[in-house]
Structure 1
Amino acid sequence: MTTPNPLQNIRQDIQSMHAYAIQDSTGMVKLDAMENPFALPPELQAALGERLGAVAVNRYPGARIEDLKQALARYVNLPEGCALMLGNGSDELISLLAMGCDVPGASILAPLPGFVMYAMSSQLQGLAFHGVQLTADFELDEDAMLAALRQHQPTITYIAYPNNPTANLWDACVIRRLIAEAGSFGGLVVMDEAYQPFSSRSWLDEIRAHPAANANVLLMRTLSKFGLAGVRLGYMLGPQALVHEIDKLRPPYNVSVLNAECALFALEHADVFAQQAATIRAERERLIAALAAMPGVQPFPSQANMVLVRVPDAQKAFEGLKARGVLVKNVSKMHPLLGNCLRLTVGTPDENTQMIAALQASL
């Protein structure tokens, strides 16, 4: 008699999935995950350690979480009529949105190539996912997006601003028309501003200036790129009624007291992180100029802390960089439009100099 296999209780589509892969970066210059490369200055490390040591870790998170929400509301100058909620990184917010919007016939739509979690959240929640290809130069294909919106009437449309992995900001006029189209059938549009510290524009200004036109828009950000990738803290804002409903799905204590205290500390020293972001933006331009000077290498415009670059042979360049101690992301197999592309995180000045030299040698 055969023993029943407990794996039969795990959904077949999940068994056929691959877990999110994290590259081993031991001993490497780590430029593969769009992290802020700067550590806290020693005096702030000591001050944060003292703060965290005094936190009541024997208690569930309480009023301090509300303190953080209020601090974030002040930090972003939360528009009137909007509310804000917290997530354990943006990834949790994306999952909660899929769960909350799982009504009969629901689906999720997003441009491709884009952030993998949009499609993954759809699959895990059992929703249809509709990907719409960008143009060859990574712009939104307005006609294709409008056609897909009209055909599928998705419950959620994701627009990353700027996009990952292409790092560009899309045309605001096109986005306005897509938001209006989604609004015509009651669809939500989620503006994902994960890379906002490095961008020249924010959709929050649009929400503030034209609240009625953005009544179906939620805006999502994270403190990961701000400089706290290890803290796992995302936040989402939008019309009070919408945020109130999604917030019901949040696990009661989804943000730990340590995470909250770290985030509060960072907001109190926002000027330090702003200076780091300014350095990263300057280094991004230096990196793009150096890449553009290499024969056969095409860097694409960036408004994030990464640069997408096309090389003659992505796998060869990736391996060459790795052999020289520099770890980047080979995105060339993620989507046909990304053929022979690498995604380079902008690091410290020294790290970027090493990466430029390693790439030149690898070519």
Structure 2
Amino acid sequence: MSARLDQIIATRIRQDVQSMHAYAVQDSRGMIKLDAMENPHRLPAQLRKELGERLAEVAINRYPGDRVGDLKQALAKHAKLPAGCDLMLGNGSDELISLLAMACDVPGATILAPVPGFVMYAMSAQLQGLKFVPVDLTPDFELDEKAMLDAIALHQPAIVYLAYPNNPTANLWNDAIIEKIVLAAPGLVVIDEAYLPFSSKSYLDRLARHEHVLLMRTLSKFGLAGVRIGYMMGRRELIAQVDKVRPPYNISVLNSEAALFALEHEDVFAQQAADLRAQRARVQDTLATLPGAQSWPSDANMILVRVPDPARTFEGMKARGVLVKNVSKMHPLLAGCLRLTVGTAEENTQMLSALQASL
């Protein structure tokens, strides 16, 4: 790097950005990829052919237009959007999280979330220049009711994030405690239901009761991680305000058409989710029999497991062609932990074999 470029970076790039680490994506080439909570199932061959033919007719020479509106209507129907509510689209949930930080960037604003949790809550706050307040979960990854309520009273956050279920711990939290947090929050409460296809509960039926609550979902875990469609629901007046900071044309015409096609075949994706829930139970049953491995109940398509030597186990599994996520250094409560994505039956067999051999 030249002295001039070094000087430009040192003086023109924010100091906090220079000290940050970029979001890391592991190289998965040649591996069984079980590190990112993706749906491992592809569309059947005939549907892939139909999708390709449909995308070929999309006018990619034009800016996105009415089809994005069609997608919003299809998602509203799919999600059973409550009366008086609206939804907005994001380029994945990541963009929605960033847009919320931008919209709520008033002087002294704070974002609060339980940790360990989804890293983008803190990263979006930092990039927008907001204060992020982490509140530790209990040792068994439950919400610490007193700590959460005390932190809300002290910091008066503009946004409280609650992942339902949580990432990377994969559990659902106590509904009564969530209700107390919602009632105590002076600003927005964002319930993140990214893993809804695998979860036994949703907050949707309570959305209409709380006008300051936003419900965030994604089609990534539905089976379209590569399409990048997130959506957020809430009171029409609130969505209208946040939607003002959304970039124009943030959803491409190809992504919109692919998502519409998927929603027209949602029964196929529902069958895939059912298979993954069954596979999750099978993996959990096997983990319970492995000496040296401690796992927790999951309501997502991932399972958190604690092992004696996470670095050795991670590298051992990788050497056997299976890529998982080593989260042991993300937070002290995750010491010794790996996060396993639930895959196909064959992938799970190989994953469990690699894990047992690497313990």
State the distance in 1 between where 2:166 and 2:63 align: 36
1:140 aligns with 2:143: yes
Amino acid at match of 1:201: K
1:271 aligns with 2:273: no
Q: The residue matched to 2:245 in structure 1 has which SS?
A: coil
State the distance in 2 between where 1:332 and 1:3 align: 39
Q: List aligned pairs for 1:149-228, cutoff 5 A.
A: 149-182=152-185, 185=186, 187-207=187-207, 211-212=208-209, 214-228=210-224
TM-score (norm 1): 0.97
Q: The residue matched to 2:292 in structure 1 has which SS?
A: coil
Uncovered stretches (5+) of structure 2, i.e. residues with no partner: none
Q: Structure 1's 3 and 265: CA in aligned 2 closer, same or farther, altered over 3 A? A: closer
Amino acid at match of 1:315: A
State the distance in 2 between where 1:169 and 1:217 align: 18
State the distance in 1 between where 2:109 and 2:272 align: 41
Q: CA deviation at 1:37?
A: 0.3
List, as ranges, runs of 4+ consecutive aligned residues in structure 1 with deviation greater than 4 Å. none
The residue that corresponds to 2:68 in the other structure is 65
State the distance in 2 between where 1:292 and 1:311 align: 12
Uncovered stretches (5+) of structure 1, i.e. residues with no partner: none
Amino acid at match of 2:354: A
Identical counterparts, % of pairs? 69
Q: The residue matched to 2:100 in structure 1 has which SS?
A: helix
Q: What whole-Å deviation, never above 9, does each CA across 1:80-137 have from its counterpart, x for those lacking one?
A: 0100000000000000000000011100000000000000000000000000000000
Q: CA deviation at 1:205?
A: 1.8
Q: List aligned pairs for 1:1-363, cutoff 5 A.
A: 3=4, 5-7=7-9, 8-182=11-185, 185=186, 187-207=187-207, 211-212=208-209, 214-363=210-359
Amino acid at match of 1:206: R
Q: CA deviation at 1:215?
A: 1.0
State the distance in 1 between where 2:41 and 2:274 align: 12
Amino acid at match of 2:87: L
TM-score (norm 2): 0.98
The size of the alignment, in residue pairs, is 355
Amino acid at match of 2:108: G
Q: The residue matched to 2:234 in structure 1 has which SS?
A: strand
Q: CA deviation at 1:6?
A: 1.7
Q: What whole-Å deviation, never above 9, does each CA across 1:145-166 have from its counterpart, x for those lacking one?
A: 0000000000000000000000
Q: The residue matched to 1:248 in structure 2 has which SS?
A: helix
Q: What whole-Å deviation, never above 9, does each CA across 1:289-321 have from its counterpart, x for those lacking one?
A: 101100011111100000000111111110110
State the distance in 1 between where 2:242 and 2:252 align: 19
Q: What whole-Å deviation, never above 9, does each CA across 1:336-361 have from its counterpart, x for those lacking one?
A: 00010000000000000000011111
State the distance in 2 between where 1:76 and 1:88 align: 18
State the distance in 2 between where 1:306 and 1:51 align: 33
Amino acid at match of 1:199: S
State the distance in 2 between where 1:164 and 1:273 align: 22
Amino acid at match of 1:188: L
Q: What whole-Å deviation, never above 9, does each CA across 1:251-308 have from its counterpart, x for those lacking one?
A: 1100000000000000000000000000000000100110110001111110000000
Amino acid at match of 1:347: G
